Amino acid sequence: MKIPVSVKVNGEDCRKEVEGRTLLVDFLREECGLTGTHVACDTSSCGACTVLLNGVAVKSCTLLAAQVEGEEVVTIEGMASNGELHPIQAAFKEKHGLQCGFCTPGMVMLAKDLLDHNPNPSPDEIRHGLEGNYCRCTGYHNIVEAIQSVNA
């Protein structure tokens, strides 16, 4: 049985009928056509699927689409505006905070939440804030530098 789900995603309404068991990550990718949010571990331990739900970083593989009915979601696709990278995205590019790029969307979204709550975090606060989002390539050094440079 399908149920109607309406979510504001990146400022646009996304209304679809989905199975009740549809995860938010699958709703975003398959129903809204936003594939920047990655599916990786299927256990909520890697953070590649991190999005902002009403401004708070969440792992979209841990929520059903129906649970976010009427809420606002921002994905990596919603970060840039008018063809310009968001300052966090630009910092990741400038400071080489990505290699393969698979974790980058989740890291950027988590960094947005972190910086919204703490505009000038120390390197230790950034490392603590990144807990639960994994990068297999960079060793985090450049990611920390990128995040720290945003408001420097």
Beta strands in 2-141 (DSSP E): 2-9, 12-19, 50-53, 56-59, 72-74
Please name which of 77, 30, 67, 25 lies closest in space to residue 46, comparing C-alpha atoms. Answer: 25
Helix (H, G, I), strand (E, B) or coil at 7: strand
Q: Per-residue pLDDT for 139 more than 80?
A: no
Sequence spans of domains, the chain: 2-77, 87-149
pLDDT score, position 87: 97
Window from 14-18, 138-142, 147-151 with minimum mean pLDDT: 138-142
**Which comes out higher in pLDDT, residue 138 or 55?**
55
pLDDT score, position 17: 97
Token pair 């979204």: residue: 109
pLDDT for 23-82, tens place per residue?
Answer: 999 999 999 999 999 998 878 889 999 999 999 999 999 999 999 999 999 999 999 999
Token pair 């490392």: residue: 127
Work out the pLDDT band at 126, boundaries 50, 70, 90. Answer: very high
Q: Per-residue pLDDT for 105 more than 70?
A: yes
> Does 3.90.226.10 match the CATH number of domain 2-77?
no
Work out the pLDDT band at 152, boundaries 50, 70, 90. Answer: low
Token pair 């309406």: residue: 6
pLDDT score, position 104: 95
In this chain, the answer to whether the domains covering 2-77 and 87-149 adopt an identical fold is no
Q: Which residues pair with 18 in a beta bridge?
A: 3
Side-by-side strand order, sheet with 56-59: 12-19, 2-9, 72-74, 50-53, 56-59
User: What is the CATH topology of the domain spanning 87-149?
Assistant: DNA polymerase; domain 1 (1.10.150)
Please count the CA atoms within 13 angstroms of the CA of 91 that sit on its side-chain side: 20
Rounded CA-CA distance 78/85 in Å is 10
